[in-house]
Amino acid sequence: MTGLIEEERTELGSGPMQWLAEGLRSAVFLRADLAGLRVSPAAIVLLTAVVVGLGVLLQRLGIAGPAVFYWQAVASGWLTTVLLLWACWLVARARSGSPDAGTLFGVLLIQQLLISAPLWGLYLLVPHLPGLSPQAAAWLQWGIPFAVVGWVSLAGAVLLLRHTPPGGTRAAVLLSFVLAGAADLYAPPMQFWYPDETTERAAGDDKRLHLKQEVMEAQSGVLIAALDALQPQRPGVADVYAITFAPYAGEDVFRRESKLVSDLMQSRFDAQGRTIQLINHAQTAGELPWATGLNLQRAINRAASLMDRDEDVLFIHLTSHGAQDGKLAASFWPVEVDPITPAQLRAWLDEAGVRWRVLSISACYSGSWLPALSEPGTLVMTAADAEHTSYGCGHKSELTFFGRAMYGEQLRTTHSFEVAHAQARKVIEQREKEAGKTDGYSNPQIAVGEAIRPKLAALAARLDAAQ
């Protein structure tokens, strides 16, 4: 490309460094000096190939593990290029002495490289930035594509409008950038890489749900079998019924935590035959009931119908990403799953007539669930307060910090939820400091109703004596 541009130098010269310098000036909205800049058609083709090649490279870096290259994608996604070429042609013919269309388009391409390369690089780094909460990471990954398109479009429009006389041409140039930006955001892009499904399936790492008829039909039977397997209460014994709910399929950590808590309830809290797991995950789609709001309500109703409501305790553990508005994130594409709210959970428990409740919410900002769920017959534990994120819910985590401390450690040595939670708070605070959590201590919360405290003390005494 260097030789191609140097062939078109004027007397003053217009080498690659001048192109980069003027492209950088225009990218930060400074007036670029385009006098003397000339570029050959071959150089334009090469610059376009560099832009496309950068996109191919970044797409590959964005896919972890094996991927398949789809070269036919080069035939799509050219609407933006056509619109920008049209805008450059309009400007070049609108006023004598204006830079030619090739020069303008060449600067636009260099602008795009200088702006998009670092921003898309940041996009790929977001999941690996230390101390970044899942919510902040999600916002960054949502906002960066809009930032790229907005910046590229605005910088390009400012460059061309400085060379466009007032009138209809300006309106046409602006319209072309608006349409180009919309095409970048909403039209199907050049998708050159796809995860290698064959390799994923062979390794057992495919996290996507393949929604076939067999899977749909089997799921109905799985739910019915799980609900039917719950055993009735034992007269004279304060039984524990346990439900674990992991509705976010995109992270393995929630599936692992659900199993950990379910196993603990059976081994330490005498809940064998009275435990049900609701999980959204491709690997368990045909084995366990899905974690949807309707299935959670059905599980609560089924447990309530089997319990002695004066004696027995219903334990529910929910684990997912959380938001400051109190919604528990749910995802199981292509199945549409609505998030769960504390008001919904409270209503389902009240309608089912469950008297004694132990509720555990492992999510960011989960302290916001306390007001809706707290009442005399309920103990509520959360992984964070209403203002802070919890920790350990990323794709590299084995367990959340709350799940590990509370259920993997502290409840192994005591049957008291209050004692375990108090000890877990200390452990979590120390581990968050060591991990470099930057947005403050998660500050796990607990609210114990006056009526349920003696009930849980009696349960702990029975379990202590038995074990």
Residue 67 pairs in a beta bridge with 195
283 and 414 together in one domain: yes
Is 210 a residue whose pLDDT tops 70? no
Is 63 a residue whose pLDDT tops 90? no
142 and 41 together in one domain: yes
329 and 367 together in one domain: yes
Given 171, 200, 229, the domain boundary residue is 200
Has residue 462 been placed in a domain?
yes
176 and 264 together in one domain: no
329 and 253 together in one domain: yes
Has residue 257 been placed in a domain?
yes
Given 200, 230, 253, the domain boundary residue is 200
Has residue 209 been placed in a domain?
no
192 and 233 together in one domain: no
How many domains does the structure of the chain reveal?
A: 2
- Reported as a pLDDT band with limits 50, 70 and 90, residue 4 is very low
Rounded-to-integer distance, Cα 344 and Cα 327, Å: 10
412 and 447 together in one domain: yes
283 and 174 together in one domain: no
Has residue 207 been placed in a domain?
no
Q: What is the pTM of this model?
A: 0.61
| pLDDT, position 9 | 39
Is 395 a residue whose pLDDT tops 70? no
Quick: pLDDT tens for 294-321: 999 999 999 999 999 999 999 999 999 9
Domain range enclosing 244: 217-466
Highest mean pLDDT among 72-76, 89-93, 215-219: 89-93
CATH assignment of the domain containing 331: 3.40.50.1460
| pLDDT, position 110 | 93
Across the range 182-187, mean pLDDT stands at 80
Quick: pLDDT tens for 117-143: 999 888 888 877 877 766 677 788 888
Of 136, 124, 107, give the one whose Cα is nearest residue 54. Answer: 124
Has residue 212 been placed in a domain?
no
Name the amino acid, one letter, at 55.
G
134 and 242 together in one domain: no
| pLDDT, position 115 | 93
